Structure 1
Amino acid sequence: MKIPTFHLLSGILAGSLFFQTNTRAETDLPVLFTDDFSGAATDDWQPTDPKAWKITKLADGNAVFENIGGSKYEPPHRSPFNIALRKDLFIGDFVLTAKVMTKQTSRAHRDMCLFFGYQDPAHFYYVHLGEKTDDHANQIFIVNDAPRIKISEKASAGTPWKDETWHQVKVVREAASGLIEIYFDDMETPTHVAHDKNFTWGQIGIGTFDDKGLWDNVELRGVKVDRKGKPVAGPADPKQLKFIKWTPDFQVPDPVAISLDDNGVAYVTQTQRRKSQDLDIRANRDWIPNDVGFASVDEKLAFYHEQLTPERSAENAKRVDDLNGDGSHDYRDLMVLSERIYRIEDTDGDGTADKMGIYAEDFKTEVTGIAAGVLIHEGDVYSTIAPDVWKLRDTDGDGKADQREVFAHGFGLHIAYAGHDMHGLTVGVDGRIYWSIGDKGVRVKSKEGDDWRYPNHGAVLRCEPDGSHFEVFAHGLRNVQEIAFDAHGNIFGVDNDADKPGEMERFVYIVNHMDAGWRANWQYREPDYSPWTAEKLWMPWHEEQPAYVTPPIRNYMNGPAGFAWNPGTALGPAYDDYFFLNSAPNGQQWAFQAKEQGASFEMVNDHQIGNGIPLVGLAFGPDGALYSVDWGGGYPLNEQGAVWKIDIPDEVRSERRLETATLLKADDAKADLDTLTVRLSNADQRVRLKAQFELAKREAFDTFAEIAADSEQPQLARIHAIWGLGQLTRYREGADFAPLVALLTADDSEIRAQAAKMIGDGFSVSVALSPSVFPSKEGRVADRTLLSRALLPLLEDKNDRVKFFAAVALGNLGITDSAEKVVALLASVKPEQTYLRHAGVVGLTGCGETALLAGLVKHDAEIVRAAAVVALRRREDPAVAVFLNDKSPWVAAEAARAIHDDWMIPEALPALAETLATT
């Protein structure tokens, strides 16, 4: 193919946005990338043939990137064979510098090459630094769906290579003028010059036509762009953001959560029951001993009927108002006020809402909590109103739900603190429904018959859209009000603190089977000993922290509520990849990014974006604006409130936002297969997911497999295809895992990680604190051993994310032969690598037999012994007692906690008592 129109358009666009002359100093361009190859991994580079490249340590100890030759890559047109591209980085204007040494003996075409403007294998530029000059050597070339053609206006007589000598090279590119300059050793005078505007953006790369050589100290300065050549904005500026009341003409009473459909219609929940009908334990402190002991919603209901009787009306007046007006203060007064869901829309398209109606109500049993979460997905409206998750639908188009079903039941066992409800509804990248609950607890019997008991935990929960395969995804949280997925399917949230002196909220990376450490019964331990504060469980990792806890990334802002991630084209480029957080009590709004760091993340670029409005729930609309609800005064209910729109006015009519809005409104059920596959690489995650889910409905297994396997496809398209394969394999008898297994050896580490994650996703054994096994025995292939064996090499992968997901998958598969390799992984883990430790714990819990786990008491590595303790704790195995006399006080204390905490391990209590008496 010749260059598509959008390449030419991007050149026109670049002409108005990039610098115009070559007088711009190199230092004016920000540093986008440096690599001295001192690390063992080369994950930032994508070679055409990975076997032809390696990290080499020289005699002086310096590490370099070596092209050893022998590339098996066959380009579509005559052009270089040995290329290593800088992965996932697209640039317009740039200055690229590097050190290079040829390892080829002298000959006419002895060369090294630099690549730029790389669109795909048939469209790019390169400079061939050849020893002699002719039409095919020592020139600047273009490959434009045809064999390379020289475009040099100036070229040297030959590149003066010297054996065993490092040379300095530089490439300068100005997209607007088309300028290309090449420098060799002399960094002031170019040896080669050309002008061409065919490719105004692309990747850069290093390599050689078909020789050998070394590369070091690569530095790239430039203007980062997206795949269509549009500049990616610099630092985010909160002054760009404007807060606009979307409901200026009417009150939205006491709103909590918001979700918008693909046409921009908002669904907003209202609470009327908070504290008046959904009671707060802080106003009933004499009930605390009873409350912490509730193990089911039925127990709480029975307690209300026992305590809030008409005979105790006078005593109960301080607890409940006589809301039904029958002259008695009793449990019947808890069934008067209903939670509501409103449907709000802008019918005339003027940018503000003008119509609001009740979509659903009549949520008002004695134990009904608040409507703290709402999600519109594929025509169904889900709402979390403890003790139930509701699934609602308007089948006749009158704006009111006429189909209602309880999607899941058994949430909110405790009275606990007001606000610690169910919330955070969202669609996962795997097609499941996810949501969160505060520490009012969980006791759910799934449709498959599994009994999930987490009475003192906040948690993240998930199940299929039809309510099947419910599971507790992560636990030990206190009150994460909303959660958000990023582009790679990682889940984040900001957890509320316990209102203890000196303690803070927590930014958390939420992974499967994690225990974040919180227990509701610890809330009431002050001023006596409370593990939460005494052991500093709320802090990021520290050396004395218990091993069963997966700690937060960092402490953060007060009162976290609404939380959302920019799905790709919302707001403006300055806020790409940003998370947004409402700090509700103080009326502040914040934004930040999460940067990958090993198997975990770090928070970067956090800054305040708003102040003064007590916003709660957050959601992006199809128009690219960020919507949020305002309580209209804070915690006391006053039937006031509003929906606000947070936006960048200059971006409202941007091309990318208009395109996204159009694609979201489109009926993907009517789209052909080619259209859907193209959308898997769209810039906006919502468009990508919509296409993925439609392909999954069509059982497009072969399409997913083909895209996932194609290394020339954009990485995000491959990842979505992997998630699609996950949808079509999990819980399915006889599922075909071959395409996912094949990806475990992919060159791209993220592809390996995602494949490992999906392989383990449809299997579960007892790897979490629960007296029942993980859900459903369905979906177990005849030989899980084969899958486990394919995963085992990934425990030694150079990438920590790959190791993490492989270990978790092995734990889910539960094949005992894998345990020794998991132990080896744990032995290599550093104390601060808490997510790798967690993955190892999951692996041991699922794979390790009691004899092996107890035998690890003799292992030299302290972290291995601690992980064995946590694995035995999760299995409630009394063999954990052998660790009570461990030489490490940290490990011994871990064993004591395992025996004493949560459900306890009764058979091991005598050993603990004896140890306490003698230690």
Structure 2
Amino acid sequence: MQVLVFSSVTIGLLAVVSPTVPPTEHGAAPTAAIPPAATAVECKIKPVAGLAKSTVAIYPLIDDPVAFCIDEAGRFYFAESDRQERGIEDNRSSSWWLLDDIASQTVPDRLAMYEKWASKREGGMAYYSKYADRIARLADADGDGIFEQRTAFAGPFNEPLDGSGAGLLALDGDIFYTNIPNLWRMRDVDGDGVAEFKLKDSTGYGVRVALRGHDMHGLTLGYDGKIYWSIGDRGYHVTTSDGALLHDPRAGAVFRMNPDGSELELYYTGLRNPQELAFDNYGNLFTGDNNSDGGDKARIVYCMEGGETGWSMDYQTLEGANQRGPWNQEGIWHLRPDLAPHKVKDFSPLQPAWTLPPLDHVSSGPSGLVMYPGLGLPARYNDHFFLCDFLGGDSYSQVIAFAFEPVGAGFKVVDEHPFIENVLPTDVDFGYDGKMYVSDWGGGWESGEKGELYAVWDEALVHDARILETTALFRDGFAQLDSDELAALLAHADRRVRMRAQFALASRGGETTALLSDIARNASDRFARIHAIWALGQQANGVRGDRDPSAAVLELLDDRDAEIRAQAARMLGESRCVAASEKLAELCSDDNARVQAFAALALGKLGAQSALPAVISMLGQNGDRDPFLRHAGVQSLAWMNDRAKLGELAAEPVASIRMAVMLSMRKLRDPRLASFLNDPERVIRLEAARAINDIPMPALQPQLAASLARFTAHTDSTGTAEAPRMSHAFTREVWQLDRVGTAADLRSDANFSAKPTEVTELAVGAAPRNAGNKFLARISGTIEAPETGDYIFAIASDDDSILSVGTSDDRASLVELAHVDGYSEPTDFESQPNQRSKPVHLVKGQRYAIQALHAEGGGGDHCSIAWTLPSGGVEAPIGVAPVDRSEFPHMRRAIEACLAQGTIECAVLLCDFALTSANPPAMRIEALEALGVWMAPPPRNRVNGAFRVIDIGARDEALFKSVLARKLAPLAESADPLVRLTARDVATKYGVSLDPAVSLLAVGDEKLAASERVSSLRSLAGDSAGRLAPALVTALTSNAPELRAEARTMKLRANSNDALALLSEAALHGTTFERQRAMSDLATLGAAADAVLAQLVAQLVDGSLDASLRLDIVEAGQLRAEGQVHDALAQWMSSASSNPLARYETLTLEGGDAVAGKNVVLYHSSAVCLKCHNVQGNGGNAAPVLDGVATRGDAKFLLHSLVNPTETIAEGFANAGESAMPAMDTILTAREIRDVVAYLKTLK
């Protein structure tokens, strides 16, 4: 009998593989005993009331602990890493190799990348081996609860490709260790605490750098006796022992194998950074997955076999309008109301069907995870999990407790609460002594020769006789027990005891089959029955006959306990019991969703094509309601691989069945899925487009490109009925002033109590543009909610405005939600975070009061109110037809397919799409931008960021320009200003004339936004009809500083004789914006510009130069290698304070660009501000919320918080010690710091 249970491989059979590494200069692990310094340290952690605590070990006994495990003798093994940002790098701090990293497909590719960029590192390639990872073993020799012995078990691990070592598992004398690129097995043969033998069980993990900490980790022992582990989104290219290739360079995953290294397989994928895995008492696997610092949330994930979460490493560096790509834009990480009803009320309308949704958003920095084994804590923690929430500092990090309750074939999180606070936890586990142990990184994010280990326990329970029994069982081993003793342990209170007893019984083969069968059928204890089923499953591999382990389990498919039926179905599928097919098909209609799911998966494993109708019926009955049950059916169909039947079902009238067929074809990479691009159901069309672009399936790209025709003027662009129009009422009142209206005026009710100068009724929530100067206005009325759910309100205005919405239709219920400081562009509802509200819950059909107060000084003016509906549609302003975002995923991918195909027909299709005014402006702009890069496409897919170089060798630029000349002209007069602007930019880039007369008129039209007038001016650069000259004259005398500045720059580029004089005048006497721009332009000139630059440097030296211009003249002067400007600036630099902070105060407190600063805060890939901070509900919770930060101090305070964060600790974070935030002057340029200060000043 071949038994599927494995003890560790005999040492004599191990291949001895010692890593050949150069000696490490730092972090060498000591081998002698170290005094127990922990005894002198006060225990800082704060567990829940009633529990005891102690410090077990501190540095140097424990040093930079990433993860730990506990062996059967109670000894602790720590994965320690000294190489964080010292050999183990991060794309945020090494952005120069990003494209190479995204292109990497194998581990050798990553090594080649290191070698290519070795000159960037101090010492070249030797840099990567200066510090090391290692495994340290700690022991409590005298039994006093404090460790005093440390041994260097294994290391150093410091090959350039190594690290981080982040996962450990002790099993029957072997220590398994995950350290990219290898999964190691090690053993201490002679008992000296040092591993003499090392074996690489598999290799090829970590083909990319991605982000630091996204390593291989999570080693845990499964219900089936297999070893499971995880990897972050550094990807893998692994050849298994039987020659199969597991390859995905973009995603994190879960793997499993037998303890002897055989049968390595992929179990779950699409994860970002699943640092730890944990099974519950029923063999369900869970993990905590990190957020991407892009407004998304960390998630609890149920890892159902064959499933995908949907993350791709390529998403991480997508910013701006397509931030994080489909992850954010399509709501992959969003919650479902059936799984998390306490957090969301509506389904995400674009969440893909090919992904499995998260169960909940728990923590912000999930790290170690463990399930309570059953002894040592109060009864309320039965069935609870404990998750480390690592946020860089003690005071805001914690260990969180929670449990799960079944929901259909999935689960929901319940009883979430802090269990241990004031700890920076990396890992958590339970000893065999009834205590919980937590490792503490020691502070910050990087390696720092720090670390602690703490214990938490219940003094009233820790001496339980069953805990003493557990300790003895693991110390002495289970092999020495007879089968009846082992059978009794299947009902033990500690899950770990039950599992080891299960494995021991399974390993005895046929002699225990009858015993296990009897327990599975007749035991009174549910856990004993389940473990017996699992043990029989371990025995059943390929075995049939008198003592067939599957025979007893077959009977259990009729058991009254649904969980027993589910576990029996699972085991029969795992053991490939073909005889179970008929009964399993019946269970696809069981009244319990878990039973249905495991039955369907089992049928797929069996390849039981005869049961395909039962699976199809289950999918039809589910109707896409339960995503986990749908996945079970889809995975079953894919494993059955009945392609002929799938082809027939593609025309099935039931949409949920067609969806399942589509998703199965995706798993099979079946090219027939392209037919679903024409499905009558939008959601199915979207899935087809996703599959073709995202996998990718290049052969189907022409069909995807052609599907863009669905959205041109010649076809029905949506296929859906128009949404019903709601009844809104708006009135605009105006109070004319004899002075400039200001923001302060809006805060005084008295200003709106007099009789208005003018009253008009409005059809939509927007005032007429450019209506006058020096006035106050109020738009007020009521709005009707078209659907129930959470709305986001927004306001855009020039100048200041305040938006309020009521909780009813009574004006007395108005609550301020958003405001504009200064001004925004007419269609810009988000440049200032204060322009958008937090979610506001409205009820369909109910009316709510609304009010917008508006102050105008001079020049252009506008004021409009927008809202985003729960379904995702946007009305801007309220009352216009909402923007339908439901087709965005299809449109984006079809546009990208057109760009990749590169045919003239595709260029025409993109133009027609942009010309179709019914299409959303954002997508029309997307099409125009694709045309803008037609002759030089970026190397990354514009939808999901994947590295895909497009061959442009066959593209005819002249023919392409002729298409633009024929097609784009009408877009110069589009009703949407951003469409007009983008079209002009494309035309300018390729030298194509749209309508020069229209562009000339636009340059002089003061009602247009400055950005559009600038674009119109640029479009005339190649005009042969002489319109550029009058356009420049108009621009230079316009009321828009941006337009005047652009005209001077264009004259400079054209080598105009008057360019120097114009720039000199602007540099000395223009607006702040013009002076900054002119200095930048003058710096590009030769000695002719030195006179004016020297004059400005002189003003810097004598202190008369405006503070907003100091950085600009310093940067301009630094471009001079010699001469009067260089010398004068050098003199000033030498006399200025040598204190870097003082220099920043001189240069960066004024003059920044708030919009650019916002982009740094939201999107800078190295600063990653939203990893810890939160703005308008987006970001982390490990640092102060930035909303209102401008009210906490002046510009100097804001600057200091950036450059010296420890100096200015916000209220509520004062106990954190040294700030985990790095000084931003090491990451950002001075200009970026100035911009961030300007942005922070707007956050009032």
Residue 540 (structure 2) aligns with: 729
Secondary structure of the 2:364 match is coil
Aligned length: 646
Equivalent residues of 1:704, 1:722 under 8 A apart: no
1:552 to 358, 373, 383: 358
Corresponding residue of 1:253: 63
Q: 1:480 to 1:241 in 2, by over 3 A?
A: farther
Q: How big is the shift at 1:545?
A: 1.5
Q: 1:558·1:583 contact (CA, 8 Å) conserved in 2?
A: yes
* Match in the other structure for 1:822: 615
2:702 corresponds to = 910
Alignment of structure 1 residues 397-796 onto 2, 5 Å: 397-501=191-295, 503-529=296-322, 530-541=325-336, 542=347, 543-585=349-391, 586-699=396-509, 700-703=511-514, 705-730=516-541, 737-762=550-575, 784=578, 786-796=579-589
Matches within 5 A, 1:31-46: none
State the AA in 2 paired with 1:534. Q
Amino acid at match of 1:343: R
Tell me if 1:862 matches 2:655. Answer: yes
In the alignment, which residue of structure 2 is the partner of 1:899? 692
In the alignment, residue 530 of structure 2 is paired with which amino acid?
Answer: I
Segments ≥4 residues shifted beyond 6 Å:
731-735
* TM alignment of 1:233-272, pairs within 5 A: 238-247=48-57, 250-272=60-82
**Alpha-carbon distance between aligned partners in 2 of 1:305 and 1:864, rounded to the nearest angstrom:** 51
How far apart are 1:762 and its partner, in Å?
4.6
Would the aligned equivalents of 2:165 and 2:179 in 1 still touch at CA under 8 Å? yes
For 1:274 and 1:805, the matched residues in 2 are separated by 42
Check whether the contact 1:261–1:621 (CA below 8 A) recurs between aligned residues: no
SS in 2 for 1:669: coil
Q: CA deviation at 1:362?
A: 2.6
Q: How does 1:302-381 map to 2 (within 5 A)?
A: 302-308=112-118, 313=119, 316=120, 320-321=121-122, 329-381=123-175
1:338 is displaced (CA, Å) by 2.2
- Deviation for aligned residue 1:655: 3.1
Secondary structure (helix, strand or coil) at the match of 2:224 reads coil
Contact 2:299 2:362 in 1 (8 A): yes
The question of whether the paired residues in 2 share the 8 Å contact of 1:569 and 1:657 is answered with: yes
Compare 288-297 and 730-739 and name the one that shifted more: 730-739
One-letter identity of the residue aligned with 1:752: R
Tell me which amino acid in the other structure corresponds to 1:849. D
Amino acid at match of 1:337: Y
Match for residue 887 of structure 1? Answer: 680
Within 2, Cα distance between the matches of 1:739 and 1:444?
A: 38
Question: Residue deviations 1:386-431, cap 9 Å, x none?
Answer: 0001100011111111110011111111110000001111111111
Counterpart for residue 633 of structure 2: 840
CA 1:881 to 1:732, structure 2 compared with 1: closer, same or farther past 3 Å? Answer: farther
Q: Is the 8 Å Cα contact of residues 554 and 580 (structure 2) preserved in structure 1? A: yes
Instruction: Assess, with a 3 A threshold, how the Cα gap between structure 1 residues 504 and 710 changes in structure 2: closer, same or farther.
Output: same
Report Cα offsets for 1:562-616 as digits up to 9, x if no partner. 1110011132323221111111113211101111222111111111122221011
The structural deviation recorded for 1:751 is 1.3
The CA distance in 1 between the partners of 2:418 and 2:378, in whole Å, is 17
**Cα distance, 1:454 vs structure 2:** 1.9
> In the aligned structure 1, how far is the partner of 2:649 from the partner of 2:350?
21
Select the structure of larger CA radius of gyration: 2
Q: Which amino acid aligns with 2:517?
A: E
Write the distance in 1 (CA, Å) between the matches of 2:444 and 2:72.
Answer: 30
Q: Look up the equivalent residue of 2:365 and give its one-letter code.
A: G
Cα distance in structure 2, aligned partners of 1:759 and 1:302: 46
Secondary structure at 1:517 match in 2: coil
Q: CA RMSD in A?
A: 1.9
Residue-by-residue CA offset, 1:483-541 (whole Å, 9 max, x unaligned): 1111111111111111112x101111111000011111111111242100000100123
Superposition pairs of residues 101-116 of structure 1, within 5 angstroms: none
Contact 2:59–2:449, Cα closer than 8 Å, also in 1 = no
Distance 1:665 1:347 in 2: 15
CA deviations on 1:626-684 (whole Å, 9 max, x unpaired) are: 11111111312111111111222232212332232233323211111110110111111
Task: Judging by fraction of residues, say which structure has more helix.
Answer: 2
Amino acid at match of 2:560: D
The CA distance in 2 between the partners of 1:556 and 1:830, in whole Å, is: 29
The aligned residue for residue 107 of structure 2 is 297
Letter in 2 for 1:460: V
Displacement of 1:248 = 5.1
Secondary structure, in 3 states, of the residue corresponding to 1:347?
Answer: coil
- Deviation of the 1:733 alpha carbon: 9.0
Give the partner amino acid of 2:628: Y
Answer yes or no: is the 8 Å Cα contact 1:869–1:880 preserved in 2: yes
Is contact 1:877-1:905 (8 Å) kept? no
Post-superposition shift, 1:736?
Answer: 5.3
Give the 3 Å change call, closer, same or farther, for CA 448–552 of structure 1 in structure 2.
same
Q: What is the one-letter code of the residue matched to 1:478?
A: R
One-letter amino acid of the counterpart of residue 507, structure 1? I
In the alignment, what sits opposite 1:94? none
The 3 A distance-change label for structure 1 pair 538 and 683 is: same
Which amino acid is 1:836 matched to? Answer: L
Query: Residues 268 and 308 of structure 2 are in contact (CA less than 8 Å); yes or no, is this contact kept in structure 1?
Result: yes
Q: How does 1:22-421 map to 2 (within 5 A)?
A: 238-247=48-57, 250-308=60-118, 313=119, 316=120, 320-321=121-122, 329-421=123-215
Kindly state the Cα deviation for residue 557 of structure 1 after the two structures are TM-superposed.
1.0
1:212 corresponding residue in structure 2: none
Q: Shift in Å at residue 354 of structure 1?
A: 1.3
Measure the CA separation in 1 of the matches of 2:58 and 2:697: 58
What is the CA-CA distance between 1:711 and the residue it aligns to? 2.7
| Deviation larger for 416-425 or 748-757 | 748-757
Separation of aligned partners in 2, 1:646 and 1:277: 34
Q: Report the secondary structure of 2:355's partner residue.
A: coil
Change (3 A) 1:835 1:708: farther
Q: Secondary structure at the match of 1:628?
A: strand
Secondary structure of the residue aligned to 2:650 is helix
Quote the sequence identity (%). 37
Using the alignment, how far apart are the partners of 1:475 and 1:258 within structure 2? 24
Q: Which amino acid aligns with 1:698?
A: R
Q: Report the alpha carbon displacement of residue 704 of structure 1 after superposing the two structures with TM.
A: 5.3
Structure 2 unaligned residues grouped into runs of 5+: 1-45, 337-346, 712-1244
Unmatched 5+ stretches in structure 1:
1-235, 322-328, 764-780
Which residue identity lines up with residue 558 of structure 2 in the other structure? T
Q: CA contact under 8 A between 2:517 and 2:553: conserved in structure 1?
A: no
The TM-score with structure 2 as length reference comes to: 0.51
TM-superposed CA distance for 1:853, in Å, is 2.0
SS in structure 2 at match of 1:269 = strand
The aligned amino acid for 1:410 is: G
